[in-house]
């Protein structure tokens, strides 16, 4: 163990450059649909990960994203790239490492550069999750410097659509997850340093209601008001929140109408469901469809119920517990106490966990206020989390009995 710890410490002597690297990365806008920014950052990542001498590296096209416009039309949108790197593919133990390059701040946002304030770095993506990408990169550099490198194989996937539910990359992640023994995801840890051991599932839907347009003064009675019809449905859907299963249904966006003197013939609602039980996905979907069928009969408007995407919960079960316990054990070896917490948010780890692959996420930096203009990373956590992940990989690579827990 002593030589492993020394190897990690020696590598971390280079840490003075890492913070500036993250500041530079943060200055590149990688909003999920800023394809120029994503392309620029992809080239930087390709160069950085090429230092690891991967046996293969490729840029993969994401699948198109399905959108419903504010006119109720279904369109497809191309998305940014997926990066993949592989090494030691014939090793008996294979690890999947996942991260994302996209952030939530559009190019016209005022939040575009990082700044240091005392012990934190504030900036777009420093926490979610360019900081995590840096943790992943340095962790693999430590592994590849070690005499144990060839004992475990690894594949890195970095997608560019995670912040929009990984709609174009989930299929590729599922395909590449085959024959992987373990998955590490580098989303940020919570502000108190804890990592997420259980996540809700999520599903996104669109309801489109079409009525009949009419003049609100001269011909009101011949119109069919799509907005009021939708409103009745929304009230009924909101009542589904009163359930014992921690399921939440959020009507997040409503669109419709063109003027006060026109009976609206179109109304759209965009809905998100979060659920802890896989069965809740089907149950709530069926209940919403029943509500819409009832309103369709009562109002004589037409209804469309469109599912955009869904992701099942990441449960803390017997498949998942061993990797969390091992991570916690190794953190204690480094004099760090890591707690576990639940989250209503989803990540790409939900996908791999539902393939029965032991999956641990939030291995990135410690920080908070994600998706706000105050997003921050605790600076010291960068090296701290690199050390834990590197220790985990080196122990797996040097001790077959650790690998056997996941075979």
pLDDT, tens only, 31-58: 999 999 999 999 999 999 999 999 999 9
Centre a 10 Å sphere on the Cβ of residue 222 and count the other Cβ atoms it contains. Answer: 11
257 backbone φψ class: left, alpha, beta (φ>0; ψ -120 to 50): left
Centre a 10 Å sphere on the Cβ of residue 161 and count the other Cβ atoms it contains. Answer: 24
Domains in the chain, please, with CATH?
A: 1-199+313-404 (3.40.630.10), 201-311 (3.30.70.360)
Centre a 10 Å sphere on the Cβ of residue 314 and count the other Cβ atoms it contains. Answer: 26
How much is the CA Rg of the chain, to the nearest whole Å?
24
Positions in the chain short of pLDDT 50: none
CB 195 within 8 A of CB 363: yes
Q: Where are the beta strands (DSSP E) in 160-247?
A: 182-185, 195-199, 201-210, 214-215
* Separation of alpha carbons 138 and 388, rounded Å: 11
Q: What is the pLDDT of residue 14?
A: 83
Q: What is the pLDDT of residue 206?
A: 99
* Separation of alpha carbons 79 and 159, rounded Å: 10
For 184, the 3-state DSSP assignment is strand
């Amino acid at each position: 163990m002593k030589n492993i710890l020394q190897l990690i410490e020696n590598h971390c002597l280079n840490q003075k450059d890492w913070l500036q690297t993250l500041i530079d990365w943060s200055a590149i806008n990688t909003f999920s649909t800023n394809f120029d920014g994503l392309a620029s950052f992809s080239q930087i990542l390709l160069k950085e990960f090429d230092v690891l001498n991967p046996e293969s590296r490729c840029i993969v096209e994401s699948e198109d994203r399905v959108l419903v416009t504010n006119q109720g039309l279904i369109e497809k949108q191309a998305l940014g790239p997926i990066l993949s790197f592989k090494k030691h593919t014939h090793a008996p133990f294979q690890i999947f490492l996942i991260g994302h390059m996209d952030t939530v701040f559009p190019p016209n946002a005022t939040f575009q550069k990082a700044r240091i304030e005392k012990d934190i770095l504030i900036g777009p993506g420093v926490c979610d999750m360019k900081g995590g990408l840096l943790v992943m990169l340095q962790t693999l550099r430590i592994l590849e410097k070690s005499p144990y490198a060839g004992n475990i194989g690894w594949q890195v996937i970095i997608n560019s659509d995670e912040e929009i539910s990984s709609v174009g990359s989930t299929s590729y992640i599922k395909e590449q997850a085959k024959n992987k023994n373990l998955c590490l995801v580098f989303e940020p840890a919570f502000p108190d340093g804890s990592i997420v051991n259980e996540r809700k599932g999520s599903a996104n839907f669109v309801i489109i209601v079409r009525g009949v347009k009419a003049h609100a003064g001269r011909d009101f009675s011949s119109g069919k008001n799509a907005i009021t019809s939708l409103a009745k449905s929304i009230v009924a859907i909101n009542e589904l929140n009163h359930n014992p299963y921690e399921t939440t249904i959020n009507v997040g966006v409503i669109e419709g109408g063109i003027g006060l003197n026109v009976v609206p013939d179109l109304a759209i609602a965009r809905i998100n469901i979060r659920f802890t039980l896989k069965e809740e996905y089907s149950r709530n979907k069926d209940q919403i469809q029943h509500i819409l069928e009832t309103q369709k009969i009562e109002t004589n408007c037409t209804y469309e119920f469109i599912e955009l995407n869904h992701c099942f919960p990441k449960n803390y079960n017997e498949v998942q517990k061993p990797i969390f316990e091992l991570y916690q054990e190794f953190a204690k070896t480094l004099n760090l106490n890591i707690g576990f917490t639940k989250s209503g948010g989803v990540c790409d780890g939900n996908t791999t966990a539902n393939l029965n692959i032991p999956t641990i996420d939030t291995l990135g930096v410690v920080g908070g206020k994600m998706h706000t203009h105050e997003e921050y990373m605790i600076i010291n956590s960068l090296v701290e989390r690199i050390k834990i992940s590197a220790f985990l990989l080196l122990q797996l690579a040097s001790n077959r009995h650790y690998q056997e827990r996941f075979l």
